[in-house]
Structure 1
């Protein structure tokens, strides 16, 4: 079996964290050895990072760490090199954290003669239809030359691969492996085991008896939550409740502006997995009004849970929902589109039930964790049988 040194994040909670933890757990379940290297300053003064070859968890010091980017400490690169020399992995897989260290990894791994894989998942909108999408395009332009030096770069959709190819990343170094979710964990409420069912009962008692329309994710500019709140305020939503799960830089501003709306519940940040599962089990409709996206794990989890899903066509989300698996909006004019859609969803529970079934079927066909790990194993096997590619 393969020994993978996984370089990623464990905190703060975001899609990158979920991706890294769930993927390494699935790889271990298949018998692979994983050593998780992440940014986490030593807890005690004078203590050093763990560099033992049998330690599966290695921490690197950092100066700044957020959901979006990480600034490592000056000695982080040296400590990473020492860690890799001691661990002697068969392959390094970096779930890129938007860090200066990302640009030094190809040289480091070439020196150590270790194949290097990246998962590149910053959000994007290929249409460049808004200022946020233009800003994200700059990130892709900045990273493209460095990505060309990785042995493989995993992206989540053909659309994302096309964006990078146009920016000069060689197509033979791009591997399209969509996100996957554990469909035994994220599943409709009537199929949940009793242990999760008790959590579902607790969550539903807090939510009340109204039909639940749910947003779950970061509350920031690119997620466009304000457009959803504006539409909700303009529509008669009697009998329905909008639940906002998450935190971010715009939460306090939006909550101050829209916090008086009686049928909006600001749940806040939720770290407990069982509670997040129960929230999606309680939701009838999942709403994702993003201006830019990669391939949203929250969307896939909602689909697997049987929610009727409404999302913009930013990133790969429109591709996921195309063909009847959900309702796809344009990133332009989200509020006006939701003003039309929300009354339909309110008045047509039969439609939401049908959309929920189709969403679950789409995930089972294309976006399971098992399919994701199959593809990763094939990629790892290909790279560990050959020497790292030349720069």
Structure 2
């Protein structure tokens, strides 16, 4: 593929955060006959998405380094970019942004930087390093209007820099709505030892599977995997196409033991401070007092996990909580959720929330960051002010008790993402940015 524009995504690490996940997800939608993608990262961790980047056609490279060591890698990155003939460096988050501006300034490579959070939330070193170098890039992309405002307010009093070339453009995050669709979910009770109830549950599952448009071999594989003590999600993954172009159906067992009629409230997140998941657990316990059959699913991992597990254990309600860890495929988990609950203190524009909405899950959340730009209170879900998170309990209970309201919000959630926050729209805007900086 001659004359493709070579884009180098620069990022500190490739964990499973929203910023990292956007790199392969956008690449899958980009026109790769026009763009060639590389990704360079520095900090290698166990739960990473390298395989997902490679599957998306991105060439992945590693220069091992910690935070402070990044300052000593500028020459290596500069040589790397020159050797590959990189046309544009697209950096994500402050540390990579600082690095990219240093590299691009000497090589005269256009620099695109995506800011995923408001500046007030960064630590002192990240904040000032980002601020002091910020005007040495071509375009700064903000994932929400609030992030854009934060960048403007924090850089407006900086002295004029000769040759400064910074522009701010808002490109709100998007989600691939063809991929993120709600899947048929078949809930099996935990029935010890089988018996008539287990037989009836399995018979019901067989009947539903028989109605799916899949091959005999796929149907046989799904049925043989059943177990009466599990909750089954029959995953009709229409996003993955075989060479023949037919849907590639997958069946995934979720070992959650959730009763078939229980309502499920969930979240997909990295377990870090900004998510305030200890508040999430506290609200869940209050919801249980009003709706005792509810179950709660947390997808993800992080530094807060052990403290959350201890909080749940001390509550005596462990049977209602399911911490399933990091999952490469989140669609089956989103498909069993009835409500997506978020208690964040701050956000950019959370990808996982958009994915949940695309899977017809209404949102109950604090009005953090770009969340308030997506959710219309009372339409796709309910919002509270960041410090008024206690209100979220009654909102969840209202959705549990009012099925008509839940149904209307579920459909409105997906419609909102399809019409305003699609990955196709996001990628078109990104390609416009790439072409504009190359034209200079």
TM-score band, normalised by the shorter chain? 0.7 to 0.9
Relative to structure 1, the CA distance from residue 340 to residue 57 in structure 2 (aligned partners, 3 Å threshold; closer, same or farther) is closer
In structure 1, what is the equivalent of residue 175 of structure 2? 181
- In terms of Rg, which structure is larger? 2
Question: Where does 1:21-32 land on structure 2 (aligned, <5 Å)?
Answer: 21-27=24-30, 29=32, 31-32=34-35
CA distance in 2, matches of 1:361, 1:41: 38
Q: Which has the higher contact order (CA 8 A, sep 6+)?
A: 1
CA contact (8 A) 2:295 2:320 kept: yes
Aligned counterparts of 2:43 and 2:150: Cα–Cα separation in 1: 32
Deviation track 1:6-38 (CA, whole Å, cap 9, x = no partner) reads: 112553221122012222333354541112111
Does residue 198 of structure 1 match 2:201?
A: no
3-state SS, counterpart of residue 74 of structure 2: helix
**How far apart are 1:142 and its partner, in Å?**
5.2
Q: CA deviation at 1:270?
A: 2.1
Q: 1:272 aligns with which of 287, 307, 328?
A: 328
Identify if the C-alpha distance between structure 1 residues 106 and 223 changes in structure 2 by more than 3 Å, giving closer, same or farther. same
Q: Secondary structure at the match of 2:322?
A: strand
Please state how far the C-alpha of 1:361 moved relative to its aligned partner.
Answer: 0.7
**Secondary structure of 1:271's match?**
coil
Task: List gaps (5 residues or longer) in structure 2.
Answer: 46-57, 157-163, 185-235, 239-246
How far has the Cα of 1:107 moved from its partner?
3.3
Q: CA–CA distance in 1 between the matches of 2:136 and 2:434?
A: 17
Structure 2: distance between partners of 1:225 and 1:196: 34
The answer as to whether partners of 2:275 and 2:343 remain within 8 angstroms in 1 is yes
1:298-313 correspondence to structure 2 within 5 Å:
298-313=352-367
| 8 Å contact kept, 1:156–1:295 | yes
Shift in Å at residue 117 of structure 1? Answer: 0.3
Alignment partners' CA distance in 2, 1:331 and 1:141? 26
Which residue, out of 290, 301, 311, partners 1:257? 311
Q: CA deviation at 1:57?
A: 2.6
Kindly report structure 1 stretches of 4+ aligned residues shifted beyond 3 Å.
28-31, 70-75, 134-142, 169-172, 190-197, 204-208
- Contact 2:113 2:139 (8 Å CA) reproduced: yes
Residue number among 4, 13, 22 corresponding to 2:7 in the alignment: 4
TM, length-normalised to structure 1: 0.82
Q: Deviations over 1:187-224 (max 9, x none)?
A: 1225754755522xx22864442221102102222111
How far does residue 356 in structure 1 lie from its aligned partner after superposition?
1.2
1:93 and 2:90 aligned: yes
Give the drift of 1:172.
Answer: 6.2
1:333 maps to which residue?
Answer: 388
Which whole-Å CA distance do the structure 1 matches of 2:27 and 2:428 have between them? 13
Q: CA offset at residue 140 of structure 1?
A: 4.9
Residue 145 of structure 2, aligned match among 153, 158, 168: 158
From the superposition, tell whether residues 75 and 143 of structure 1 become closer, same or farther in structure 2 (CA, over 3 Å). Answer: closer
Secondary structure of the residue aligned to 1:283 is coil
Does the alignment pair 1:17 with 2:20?
yes
TM-score, normalisation: structure 2: 0.74
State the shift of 1:249 in Å: 1.5
Match of 1:49 in 2: none
Counterpart among 209, 218, 224 of residue 270 in structure 2: 218
Given the alignment, which residue of 274, 282, 300 partners 1:230? 282
- The change in CA–CA distance for 1:266 and 1:247 in structure 2 (over 3 A counts) is same
Conserved 8 A contact 1:196-1:278:
no
Give the alignment of 1:1-391 within 5 angstroms. Answer: 1-8=4-11, 11-27=14-30, 29=32, 31-39=34-42, 56-63=59-66, 70-72=67-69, 75-96=72-93, 98-99=94-95, 102-122=97-117, 135-136=121-122, 140=127, 143-168=130-155, 173-190=167-184, 192-193=237-238, 195=248, 198-199=251-252, 202-203=253-254, 206-209=257-260, 210-234=262-286, 235-259=289-313, 260-273=316-329, 276-322=330-376, 324-334=379-389, 336-386=390-440
Q: How has the CA–CA distance of structure 1 residues 195 and 352 changed in structure 2, closer, same or farther, with 3 Å as cutoff?
A: farther
CA offset digits 1:120-159 (Å, max 9, x no partner): 11357xxxxxxxxx64486556523322211111111222
Answer yes or no: is the 8 Å Cα contact 1:121–1:155 preserved in 2.
yes
Distance 2:118 2:27 in 1: 22
The superposition leaves residues 300-343 of structure 1 with CA deviations (integer Å, 9 ceiling, x where unpaired) of 00011100111211111111102622211111031x21232232
Residues matched between the structures, number: 352
> RMSD of the TM alignment (CA)?
2.6
SS of 1:5 mapped into structure 2: strand
Query: Gapped runs of 5+ residues in structure 1?
Result: 43-54, 64-69, 125-133, 387-391
SS of 2:354 mapped into structure 1: helix
